[in-house]
């Protein structure tokens, strides 16, 4: 569930930038929809055994480092391996290729800001996923280790959990900043609308009566 929340947060975070684009690039929303469908599938089958074909298909999207760690998990707990593999794969394709070379936008700054924010968010998600795999791997190793090695593995587990905690707290701080910015924008909008109530009401009357055409520039 935490991964779904993280993904939805990502989509909501990108929306203020996306709305500045022309309708031409709206076809890219298909990629977002596909990622959402992938996530839905992950959480309906997590932990269940998979076919060799599915396993190979999911592994090919992962980095060599993550593959190595997952192989270690597989040797210790196959069900946990299947779960982690399914959870890891959808996030491997989150980076959106640069669109600036394909389309022309009136607001190039908004596009650049959107791309940079998306990539930065993507990197944090990938790092979080790698740390989650580390945590599961160290926990499994610790359970199967002798007392001589357990202390070392516990330190590794503690270090990974500490880093994972910091990343998640950082994400929460970003969410708070976004909510504060949204709240400030709403307050300013509300204040402006109060100050211009009469004008807004008159414009709406003209729209309802079909007189708004006289207010057009051309």
Q: How many angstroms separate the CA atoms of 165 and 163, rounded?
A: 5
Residue 10's alpha-carbon distances to 24, 32, 121, in angstroms, are: 22, 10, 7
**pLDDT value of residue 216:** 65
- Burial group, residue 192, by CB count within 10 angstroms (0-12, 13-18, 19+): exposed
Model pLDDT, residue 76: 94
How far apart are the C-alpha atoms of 105 and 118, rounded to whole Å? 18
Output the pLDDT for position 68: 93
Q: Residue 191 carries which DSSP code?
A: H
CA 49 – CA 81 distance, rounded (Å): 9
pLDDT given for residue 69 in this prediction = 93
Give pLDDT, residue 103: 40
Using one digit for the tens of pLDDT, what is the confidence trace for 186-214?
A: 999 999 999 999 999 988 888 888 876 66
At 96 the pLDDT is 45
The residue ranges of the chain whose pLDDT is under 50 are 10-28, 43-44, 92-106
Look at residue 113 in the predicted model and tell me its pLDDT. Answer: 59
* pLDDT at residue number 161: 96
Q: How far is Cα 102 from Cα 100, in angstroms, rounded to an integer?
A: 5
Q: Are 85 and 41 in contact (CB under 8 A)?
A: no
What pLDDT score does 209 carry?
A: 86
pTM of the model: 0.59
What are the DSSP calls for 46-88, one per residue? Answer: TTS---HHHHHHHHTTS-HHHHHHHHHHHHH-HHHHHHHHHHH
């Amino acid at each position: 569930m935490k991964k779904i929340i993280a993904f939805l947060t990502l989509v909501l975070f990108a929306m203020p930038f996306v709305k500045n684009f022309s309708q031409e690039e709206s076809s890219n929303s298909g990629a977002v929809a596909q990622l959402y469908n992938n996530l839905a599938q992950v959480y309906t089958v997590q932990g269940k055994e998979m076919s060799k074909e599915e396993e190979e298909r999911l592994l090919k999207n992962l980095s060599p480092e993550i593959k190595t760690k997952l192989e270690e998990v597989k040797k210790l707990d196959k069900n946990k391996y299947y779960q982690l593999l399914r959870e890891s794969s959808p996030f491997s394709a989150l980076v959106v290729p640069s669109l600036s070379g394909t389309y022309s936008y009136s607001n190039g700054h908004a596009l650049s800001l959107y791309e940079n924010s998306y990539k930065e968010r993507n990197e944090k998600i990938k790092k979080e996923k790698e740390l989650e795999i580390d945590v599961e791997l160290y926990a499994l190793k610790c359970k199967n280790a002798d007392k001589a090695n357990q202390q070392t593995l516990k330190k590794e587990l503690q270090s990974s959990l500490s880093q994972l905690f910091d990343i998640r707290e950082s994400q929460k701080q970003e969410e708070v900043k976004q909510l504060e910015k949204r709240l400030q924008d709403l307050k300013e909008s509300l204040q402006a609308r109060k100050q211009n109530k009469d004008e807004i009401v008159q414009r709406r009357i003209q729209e309802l009566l079909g007189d708004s055409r006289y207010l057009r520039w051309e």
